[in-house]
Amino acid sequence: MNNKMFKRTMAVILAAGMTGAMGISALADEITFPLEETATFTGMISYPVGTESEPNNRTIFKRLEEATNVHIDWTAIQSDQWGDKISLNMANINAITDFVFSAGFSDSDLLRYADQGAIIPVEEYIDSVMPNLSAVFEKYPEYRAMSTAADGHIYALPWIEQLGANKTAIQTVGDMSFINKKWLDFLGLEIPTTVDEFEQVLIAFRDNADKIQAEFGIEGSIIPMSFIMNDGDQDPAILINGFGEGYGDADRGRHIAVTNDKQVICSATQDGFYKGMQWLHHLYEENLIDQEAFTQEWATYVAKGKSGRYGVCFSWDVANIDNLQDWVPLPVLTADVRNLTPQNGSFTSGYDRGRCVVTAVAEDPALVCAWLDQMYDPMQSPQNNWGTYGEDDDFDIFEMGENENGEPMLKHAPLGDASPVEVREAECVGGPRAVLDEYYGVYVTCPDDAQYRLDWIEEYYTPDMTMDYVYPNVFMSVEDTEELSNLQADITKTINAAKSDWVMNGVDDAKFEEFKSSLDAYGLQDMLAIFQKYLDAYYAE
Amino acid sequence: MKKKSRFARYSTEDKALLLLGYILLGLFVLAIVIPMVYIVVASFMDPITLQNRGITFDFEKWTLTAYERVISNSQIWIGFKNAVIYSVVFMVVSVIVTMLAAYPMSRSDFKGKGFFNIIFMITMFFGGGLIPTYLLISNLGLLDSMWAVILPGAFSVWNMIIARTYYQGVPQELREAADVDGASEIVYFFKILLPVCTPVIAVLALWQFVGMWNSYFDAMIYLNDTAKQPLQLVLRSILIQNQPESGMISDMQSTAERAQLAELLKYATIIISSLPLLVMYPFFQKYFDSGIMAGSVKG
């Protein structure tokens, strides 16, 4: 690096540090787009494999450049290489750009880069030059709270995608369970509503395997129930939600739940979890569970599903596993109680804290922020999220229509034979954006695949959500993030291993007690205390 | 009377030993052949059938879809071209540098040999680390150019040691004879030494070619332009699915679709990417016998 460049960069970094400390007083001038003089920034962005590699050739950015008179020199990185390259580029003063459009930084990345002075706090720019984002924050103050670090700064611009809200949010249930309606009808069975009925149905699937196989011409043996243990949405945790007090194990990653008096508990040390595991072991002994359920990978799981071999399976959407016609969601099963615990963090919908950052090399951070605020425009955000309209090539995600009041609205267009993913990836640009629940029907139509899932949640699950709270998406300090990841390393591993072991080999009181004491030895109480601290702070506001 | 076969003339212990040898070697061959056959057959099969029933020789079940997808992917052909260019250039540069460096190191009358030896050895045990190396390449202005992939690894100490040892095995008389005929060091090196060293050159060339052909990491770190990516990096992009954006609804679908596609292409891409190497080996094989020294010195 040449010396002059270094000095200049250092000066910018220092200046940025000072403005941060003194408050921004020189921002009184309103920034209006299009600018009178073309401004040029540098930005880093990722793009999906096999799509246009020059972002400025994407319709969305072409239109933005016209509308704002801001030209962006992009460093575009293929998305599969993003993780490896972004940390190198952040360390390289020659490569770092004014802003990182699709950073996707974790909490610890954000805090580390902020500590090094590589990225700058943006909260004052949000208030002064980002009207669109401010409006979102004003309407949903929780997003502002979630974006603010323990030191009071906001270091990144978030991505927000709402589909449904609170107990109807699409994320409330990730690992939905589905039951093969075609088989049920063939055997003349009803959809089960209790764990005992459920067991009888599985037994019927097992005992009538030959008939089912012959009737539907299935290649390969019949599997009454399959899942992938400890694999996010493919985990069977939802089945045991009715046992004990009904906390279930909805947080498959952290195994925590929040009680109605706002206490954080470990779901895996509850009696309900213990009883539920015993019950699953019983099903396993009855030969009702796929032998490969503990070891298979996604590809194997889907291959068996696509051949129509499952009676019950678990996933985000059964269309990924088999098809939509033959399957229905399995309602909540009653055991001791009837309850469904929503996933932690789901009440605030889709949210990514570290989506976009402004770096210390930006010479005019206010202008950069003002440009980035355009992404939060209610007509712009859905396009960045899904894709755009009116392109010359084959298919578009949207067509421009009108809403009830005759105002322009983006309507999801029929895609014909085109794969929705490919069209979306060819058009959308990602980055910071906010798609709020109230936009649907006003600025944009709700996408079909999301809509039917939202309907499922509302129909099958929302009425049974009897708990008041989920653990919110909180922004912890550096020390707590580190402490927590150290504690979780052992605790999560122990719990996950126990789940597979118990379902396969069974569990008794002695084993359960030993399991609880080993978790305590790994610092379970310290872990809960950290979670509790942030929960208290969250609800204190 | 029937002539006894050679085998029958062996003693019982020898027979047992021979049999054991055949069995062990047979198992060894099977261990190599079975995975290869599996991959070849699997590349012609639909992933769902493959997962459910394993490979089959029922040709009606076979399909060419995977190859159609691979061949119609222009990115793969660009990657193929790049991989050939990088591997050939890397091979040439690397062999030249290594052979030239090894010569002085093989001479006992070379002053400073010990010093250079230490310098070389240090690099075998310690590296600069990823980020400093990246910054170096960046400051040299090599980012996003093929030299970023070729230059840093071109000189390999290990290969230099092998070449040096080979030089040292060349009879001293050769140099003396050349000396008598008035050959300078340069003439001796290029006209006499290198020609008798073809076996080691072939070995090093093959190693370097294969090494570059199979590598993707440097290319991933230093190259940004999709038009410059080598084959292995392209294949990696196809096989490693796009990271779904956190929580993005439609990406759940895309991940599922991609997983299926990756499964379909996996075996076909393995075949396509190993074909050139399979084709190359027979051509290099003739250099692997060291009989070339024979006749260079008359005893």
CATH code, B242: 1.10.3720.10
Structure tokens given for B226 = 């999709």
CA distance A208 to A202: 10
Q: Closest-CA residue in chain B for A86? A: B221
Q: Which domain holds residue B31?
A: 6-67
Q: Is residue B10 part of a domain?
A: yes
- Chain A interface disruption, residue of B52, B58, B139, B218, most A CBs within 10 A: B52
- Chain B interface disruption, residue of A45, A77, A85, A88, most B CBs within 10 A: A88
What is the average per-residue pLDDT within A257-273?
94
pLDDT at position A317: 85
pLDDT category at B52 given cuts 50, 70, 90 is confident
pLDDT at position B255: 64
Closest partner residue to A95 (CB to CB) among B138, B243, B248 is B138
8 Å CB contact of A49 and B252: no
Do residues B241 and A277 lie in contact, with contact meaning Cβ atoms separated by under 8 Å? no
Residues B278, B206, single domain; the answer is yes
Residues B168, B35, single domain; the answer is no
pLDDT at A298 over 60: yes
Query: How far does B210 lie from chain A, in Å, by closest CA?
Result: 23
- Residue ending a domain, among B47, B67, B87, is B67
In chain B, which residues have their Cβ closer than 8 Å to the Cβ of A432?
none
Question: Who wins on pLDDT, A17 or A533?
Answer: A533
- Residue ending a domain, among B20, B49, B67, is B67
- State the CB neighbour count (10 A cutoff) for residue B132: 11
Closest partner residue to B221 (CB to CB) among A49, A85, A424 is A85
Residues B281, B157, single domain; the answer is yes
pLDDT at position B4: 66
CB-defined contacts A:B, below 8 A: 119
pLDDT category at A132 given cuts 50, 70, 90 is very high
- Chain B interface disruption, residue of A9, A54, A78, A415, most B CBs within 10 A: A78
Q: Is residue B185 part of a domain?
A: yes
Q: Which of A25-39, A464-478, B10-24 has the lowest mean pLDDT?
A: A25-39
8 Å CB contact of B134 and A76: no
Q: A130-139, A473-482, B189-198, B250-259 — which one is most confidently predicted on average?
A: A130-139
What is the average per-residue pLDDT within A156-169?
90
Question: Who wins on pLDDT, A450 or A26?
Answer: A450
In chain B, which residues have their Cβ closer than 8 Å to the Cβ of A351?
247
- The interface predicted TM-score (ipTM) is 0.71
Residues B131, B245, single domain; the answer is yes
Query: Would you state the CATH architecture of domain A3-165+349-377?
Result: 3-Layer(aba) Sandwich (3.40)
Q: What is the mean pLDDT of chain A?
A: 88
Residues B121, B34, single domain; the answer is no
pLDDT category at B242 given cuts 50, 70, 90 is very low
CA distance B237 to A297: 19
pLDDT at B243 over 50: no
Q: Is residue B224 part of a domain?
A: yes
SS3 state at B150: helix
pLDDT category at B60 given cuts 50, 70, 90 is confident
8 Å CB contact of A299 and B130: no
Q: Which of A298-307, B32-41, B184-193 has the lowest mean pLDDT?
A: A298-307
Residues B133, B239, single domain; the answer is yes
In terms of DSSP H, where are the helices of chain B?
6-9, 12-42, 47-53, 65-71, 74-106, 113-125, 130-139, 147-154, 157-169, 172-180, 185-187, 194-196, 198-214, 217-222, 231-239, 249-285
8 Å CB contact of B143 and A95: yes
Query: How far does B45 lie from chain A, in Å, by closest CA?
Result: 13
Let me know how long chain B is. Answer: 299
CA distance A433 to A382: 8
pLDDT category at A238 given cuts 50, 70, 90 is very high
Residues B28, B104, single domain; the answer is no
pLDDT at A9 over 60: no
Q: Is residue B298 part of a domain?
A: no
Residues B222, B284, single domain; the answer is yes
Residues B203, B168, single domain; the answer is yes
| Number of independent structural domains in chain B | 2
pLDDT in tens, A392-442: 776 788 988 888 888 899 998 887 777 777 788 888 898 999 999 999 999
Q: Is residue B216 part of a domain?
A: yes
Q: Closest-CA residue in chain B for A306? A: B48
Kindly give the pairing relationship between strand A157-161 and strand A264-266.
unpaired
pLDDT category at B172 given cuts 50, 70, 90 is confident
Residues B50, B123, single domain; the answer is no
pLDDT in tens, A330-353: 999 999 999 999 999 888 888 989
pLDDT at B250 over 80: no
Residues B160, B182, single domain; the answer is yes
pLDDT category at A277 given cuts 50, 70, 90 is very high
Half-sphere exposure of A235 (CA within 13 A, CB side): 23
For residue A100, report the phi and psi dihedrals to the nearest 5 degrees. Answer: -115, 110
Query: How far does A398 lie from chain B, in Å, by closest CA?
Result: 15
pLDDT at A329 over 90: yes
- Residue ending a domain, among B16, B43, B67, is B67
pLDDT at position B130: 87
Q: Would you list which residues of chain B are within 8 Å, Cβ to Cβ, of chain A? A: 47-53, 75, 130-131, 134-135, 138-139, 143, 220-221, 224-226, 236-238, 240-243, 245-250, 252-254, 256-260, 262-263
Q: Is residue B299 part of a domain?
A: no
In chain B, which residues have their Cβ closer than 8 Å to the Cβ of A316?
252
What is the average per-residue pLDDT within B51-56?
75
pLDDT at position A192: 94
Q: Is residue B246 part of a domain?
A: yes
Closest partner residue to A421 (CB to CB) among B226, B253, B263 is B253
In chain A, which residues have their Cβ closer than 8 Å to the Cβ of B259?
298-299, 302
Question: Who wins on pLDDT, A282 or A31?
Answer: A282
pLDDT in tens, A171-205: 899 889 999 999 999 999 999 999 999 999 999 99
Q: What CATH number has the domain spanning A176-341+476-540?
A: 3.40.190.10
Closest partner residue to B259 (CB to CB) among A79, A170, A302 is A302
Of B61, B52, B193, the residue nearest A221 (C-alpha): B52
Question: Who wins on pLDDT, B25 or A392?
Answer: B25
Residues B77, B62, single domain; the answer is no
pLDDT at position A171: 87
CA-based Rg of chain A, rounded to a whole angstrom? 26
pLDDT category at B256 given cuts 50, 70, 90 is low
